[in-house]
Amino acid sequence: MKLFWKFNRLILSLFYNRKFLKGKYFDESRWGFLWAYRGIPRLWKWKRRGIHFPVGKNTRISNGKNLEFDNSSLNIFQQPGCYFQNETGKITIGKNVHIAANVGVITANHNPENPDEHLPAKDVVIGDCCWIGMNAMILPGVHLGPYTTVGAGAVVTHSFEEGHCIIAGNPAKVIRKFDS
């Protein structure tokens, strides 16, 4: 079994940055290898955007250089319809984060007074052990603390830095707190 892991890491390191070929999806299961091999046909497109890790074919990342994440959260880039808009702002994602399909995380928005202009980018931070439900939207400048669950379809317009809660709605608000 050790030979399987070594061989696959060696082959995939020809295509991806080695630091992204580690962690629970490559050490404890074979999912990471499956995702990585499936992504090889799209590598030329990703490399232009600074993406050197496995990404599902229906996931959109504007700028891989402005994206920081723990390898234990690699699964989030396999979800269909997810959109990480970070051309100018930075998105930071903690450990063991789960993101469902069709989630948008954006760092810059249009100016409501002139849609041809963009407002200055604001970084987004998603803490450790967060779960973001399907069709949720995380807007610029939001910081989610650890153990924050975002309900399906929620629009998160402001930060919940304390974490340990479930938020839902439009705009999102705390609907339940956990004991930390």
* Other C-beta atoms lying within 10 Å of the C-beta of residue 99: 26
Bridge partners for 85 per DSSP: 106
Q: Is 110 a catalytic residue?
A: yes
Catalytic residue among 98, 110, 143, 164: 110
Q: Which residues are catalytic?
A: 110
